[in-house]
Structures are given as C-alpha cells and as structure tokens.
Amino acid sequence: MTVHERNISASIDPVKLDRLAEVAIKVGLKLEPGQDLLLTAPTAALPLVRKIAEHAYRAGAGLVTPMLSDEAVTLSRYRFGQDLSFDRAAGWLYEGMAKAFAGNTARLAIVGDNPMLLSGEDPAKVARASKANSIAYRPALEKITGFDVNWNIIAYPSASWAKQVFPGDEEDVAVAKLADAIFKASRVDHADAIAAWGKHNAVLRERTEWLNGQRFSALHYSGPGTDLTIGLADGHEWQGGASTARNGITCNANIPTEEVFTTPHARRVDGHVVSTKPLSYQGSLIDGIAVKFEQGRIVEARARRGEEVLNKVLDTDEGARRLGEVALVPHSSPISKSGLLFFNTLFDENAACHIALGQCYSKCFVDGATLTPEQIAVQGGNKSFIHIDWMIGSDQTDIDGIDAGGRLVPVFRNGEWA
C-alpha cells in the first residue's frame, strides 16, 4: 500500500469497517463452519478484504479465495487490447466459479470501482465486452439467480468512487463522507449492528407476509409520466431481507437493502413508465428513461441522456426488453433521505421503487427451489443474460394491488406504504 493509499484509508472509521466485515459474514452470508468462500473485490478494497478473511476464518471458514480487479488493468484493455478481444470473456473462470458454487462455496462481492470508469471509452466496445461477459458468466449466474448458495454484496468507499459522489470535495474528505454514508445505509453505525439487522429483517418480513397474503395478480402504478400495470407471475412469492438459499442457509444477499420484491409476469406488463432517478450502467449515466410496454415487452424506449446505451442494453437478447423483478421501496428509506446519488445500483435501487430488466429470480416463486427453468418460464418468469434495476418510484407514486377479481387495494400512496 502506498503512502497515498494509507492516507486515504485513514479517512475510513476502522471500527465501523470491522463491523461491516463482521455483518457480511454473520448476517450477509451466515457463513457455516467448514464452508468455503469465493470473494471478488477491487484492489482498492483490500483493507475490507483482509477484514472479511479474518472474520470468515474466525467463523470457521474452510478456504477463503479472493479475486481482485484493478481499474488501471481494465482501462489498459480498452485502450490497447485487440479489437477481437472484446467479443471474448474468461469462460473458463466462470465455469470454475459455477463448479465452486455447485460444491456449496459461498459467494461474496465487494463493489467499489469508479462507476464512471468506462465513460470515456468506445461505447460499442463496452457493449460488446459486457455481452460477452454476460454470456460467459451464465453458468455461475444461474447458481446465483437460482439462489443455490448463500451470497452477499457489500461496498467499500474507494477514492475513485467517492470523487464521483462528492466531486467538490478533496479526496480524503470525499472518502470519509462516502464511508459514513455506506456505514449508515449498511446499519453498521449501530454499536450492535447484528441486532439492528435482526430488527430490520423483521420489518421487511412483515411486509412480505402481508403481500403474500393478498395474492395480487397485478400492480398498477400511477404518477407523473407513469400509468403502468405489471402482472405478477403465477405462483409468485414476495421476498425481502433475509431469505433461505437452496443449501438451507438463511442470508441477506444485499447489504444494504430496503426492498421487498417479487417476479413479474414477463408477458403481462402494459402501459408507460418513466425513471425517477438516473441509472449508472457500465460507465454511462442513463437519465430520463421513458418506455412503453405492450404484452410484457418494451416497444418504445427513450432517454434524455444515454439513449444509445439504453438501446444497446435492450438489444442484448429477447429477455432484455421484459421484466425480471418488481420491487417496493418507500420514499422515506434511509438511502432516499440521504439525498445522494451513489452511481451504484446496490444503493440507488434502495432509494425508490424499481423494476429490473432481464433475468428473474427463481426464489420469488412458491416452492421455487423445486421448479425447473421450463416451469418457471410457463409461470411467467423471464430469462436473459442481464439483470438491470432502474428506479420508477417517488413521493408522487401511487400503487394499487389488483386481486384476481379485479378489486383494487392501496399499497403505496405518495411513495409510502398505504
């Protein structure tokens, strides 16, 4: 670690960083004694990687295997790599990851790269590389979307990310501010963070139990620029907070999380909707998204900014124009109250109700662990190489549940639970 990196790390509260690592292992993953752990992270997050390894081994981990990425190496590819390389990805690596997950290895991802790292690179190359990576990643991704193993995502306040969120501050100040925002959103600003997560999970469980008891067939959204009906998949099940993976371990996949979510029916979405917050995707900012759905498929798409990137995303495959997730988040969520745009979906999706283009989660079906991909498709589940969340909720959003008989039940009013 360089002197500069040590100075930046000094801006991050070591006590709260340690709590975040402990929460990731004991709440996010609920890592079991003897279980292996595969960990991915940017090189800037090494201080957190080391804390994760410590808490994992204290919890009885079998083998912790870290895999690090580096922003400079990534940029070298785009600036000096051969053109044909952008249609390739390390399939052998993802096949190995899939094999590890099949052997009950837990999965932990630390995010923290500069979200705008590729903003100055050729968007065609970015799109090609992203598509190739999505295709190669499929064997491993299916283990995650199928919730075969316990997995978790957390964040580290890298300097490059912090400067995007707080561009007017000196680097060390920006890092300190982003660290505090991450710690607060992740509930590790509490002395007993694990107990705080227990209380939060209980609240989310109350919401999912109410929604599952209603058995809505659809949700209707209304607000400025939005008149959208989202049919829900047959046999859908709402999830939120802690969930049990197929390996029997109950974990919190996302830290932070404020959402309850389920699977929409891929062929029963109609109407129009606009985004309420920008979407940061592959180094580009897509803002002012406005789309029209017919029979589940996006047939018209516009954006004030990043429209070219949006259209490339929608053309990834047939499932990219259909929904794989619908999530409810109150406007009063802590992340919304922060007023920050994190440029990172892990945080920004927890500031507002959102939908996701692409792949659905099999765990969002009743008895999802026993369903085949063919059965999930018949019940309305979507399949795609992508899964991209974007925000459609605000303090002016109303949502009604529609039951099988057509009765309307208020779910959200002015962006809050009714």
Q: What does the pLDDT look like over 244-288, one tens digit per residue?
A: 999 999 999 999 999 999 999 999 999 999 999 999 887 788 999
Residues 87 and 143 occupy one common structural domain:
yes
Residues 89 and 14 occupy one common structural domain:
yes
Cβ partners under 8 Å of residue 63, min gap 6: 36, 37
197 found inside a domain: no
Q: Counting Cβ atoms within 10 Å, is residue 362 exposed (0-12), middle (13-18) or buried (19+)? A: buried
| Nearest residue to 400 (alpha-carbon basis) of 392, 391, 410 | 410
| Nearest residue to 178 (alpha-carbon basis) of 5, 15, 341, 3 | 341
Do the Cβ atoms of 67 and 37 come closer than 8 Å?
no
Summary mean pLDDT of the chain: 95
Residue 365: band (very low, low, confident or very high) from pLDDT cuts 50, 70, 90: very high
Q: Is the pLDDT of residue 182 over 90?
A: yes
CATH of residue 74: 3.40.1830.10
Write down the pLDDT at residue 6.
Answer: 65
Q: Is the pLDDT of residue 5 over 80?
A: no
Residues 25 and 70 occupy one common structural domain:
yes
87 found inside a domain: yes
**What is the share, in percent, of the chain residues with pLDDT greater than 70?**
98
Q: What is the mean pLDDT of residues 235-246?
A: 94
Q: Is the pLDDT of residue 8 over 80?
A: no
Residue 2: band (very low, low, confident or very high) from pLDDT cuts 50, 70, 90: low
**Which neighbouring-strand residues pair with 372?**
none
113 found inside a domain: yes
244 found inside a domain: no
Residues 49 and 102 occupy one common structural domain:
yes
DSSP labels for 88-104? ---HHHHHHHHHHHHTT
Helix (H, G, I), strand (E, B) or coil at 339: coil
Do the Cβ atoms of 156 and 41 come closer than 8 Å?
yes
Tally of domains in the chain: 2
Write down the pLDDT at residue 3.
Answer: 52
Q: How many CA atoms lie within 13 A of 417 on its CB side?
A: 16
Residue 362: band (very low, low, confident or very high) from pLDDT cuts 50, 70, 90: confident
Q: What is the rounded CA–CA span in Å between residue 166 and residue 187?
A: 21
Do the Cβ atoms of 35 and 61 come closer than 8 Å?
yes
Do the Cβ atoms of 406 and 217 come closer than 8 Å?
no
Residues 99 and 181 occupy one common structural domain:
yes
Q: What does the pLDDT look like over 366-408, one tens digit per residue?
A: 998 889 999 999 999 999 989 999 999 999 999 999 999 999 9
Q: What is the mean pLDDT of residues 311-334?
A: 95
Note down the domain range covering 337. Answer: 215-237+260-417
350 found inside a domain: yes
Q: What does the pLDDT look like over 17-68, one tens digit per residue?
A: 999 999 999 999 999 999 999 999 999 999 999 999 999 999 999 999 999 9
Write down the pLDDT at residue 236.
Answer: 98
Residues 25 and 132 occupy one common structural domain:
yes
Q: What is the rounded CA–CA span in Å between residue 180 and residue 166?
A: 13
| Residue located via tokens 């609920």 | 30
> Other C-beta atoms within 10 Å of 337: how many?
11
